[in-house]
Amino acid sequence: MALYDSGALYDSGILYDSGPSPQPNKRHMAKVKLSLQTLSPDQKVAFGTTVITSMTGNPNFVTPNPTLASATTVKNTLQTAINDYNAALAAAQVKLAAREAAEVAFNATFTLLGAYVDNVSGGDRTKAESSGMSVRADVAPVGPLTQVLNLVLTAGDNEGTLDAAWDSTRGANSYEAQTSADPVSGTSWVFKTVASKSSITLDGLTTGNRVWARVRAIGANNSKGPWSDPAVKTVP
């Protein structure tokens, strides 16, 4: 039979008064989250309006600090600044369109005037320059084609291909590329392709083989420049 006075035992033998002391409840403290830096100016005005409306006459916040009147003034000032900015931006866009139209008219007029100066001066540099306009520099003769420089071979996008690139050569209309199996000899070079620009993909090569390549410029009247220094690469 269990006793229920202080210090008595339940039937289980546990002291009635020996239980753990109750712990005070820990209340979570709510904190305001503003994240103002993530809001646009218009969103800030909307947020300010919502807060001011919600706190006006709110018995939970009887003496706001700063006052709601002060908050309203700050919010209204921001709204005015936004309105002024939008008006200025719209006006600037109108003025930008007007400037662009004026530039088009200017370019057309002075292009015609330049053509008139060319026609009247008959190619006389002194006459043309007396108009206040600059004259194009005389085109220097191309002369003999120079050697193609800085030929580089890299792995192509597909198996059995190499990408070749080099510096463009003044006066070149196209480029001839030759390849050679390894090792190179005086008779191992064979024609590969003609490129219209200073890069080309060499295809149909055997994967795993070392392949040499060289390039030369081709100019007017099928004139040819000297061969580049050869480059070598293992075909992927």
Task: Give Cα 103 distance to the centre of its chain.
Answer: 28
Tokens of 113: 């005037």
Q: Are 79 and 48 in contact (CB under 8 A)?
A: no
Rounded to whole angstroms, how far apart are CA atoms 201 and 213? 11
Percent of the chain with pLDDT over 90: 83
How confident is residue 25, by pLDDT bands cut at 50, 70 and 90? low
User: What is the chain's Cα-based Rg?
Assistant: 43
Q: H/E element holding 218?
A: strand 210-218
Q: What is the mean pLDDT of residues 136-159?
A: 90
Q: Is the pLDDT of residue 14 over 80?
A: no
Q: Greater confidence, 8 or 49? A: 49
> pLDDT value at position 138?
79
- Residue pair 68/62 in contact by the 8 Å Cβ criterion: no
pLDDT recorded at residue 13:
52
Token duo for residue 178: 């030759």
Q: Where are the domains of the chain?
A: 39-135, 152-234
* Contacts with 47 (C-beta within 8 Å, 6 or more apart), sequence order: 36, 39
Q: Which CATH superfamily is 152-234 part of?
A: Immunoglobulins (2.60.40.10)
pLDDT of residue 10: 47
From CA 184, how far away is CA 18, in angstroms rounded? 99
Rounded distance, CA 162 to CA 155, Å? 5
pTM of structure? 0.46
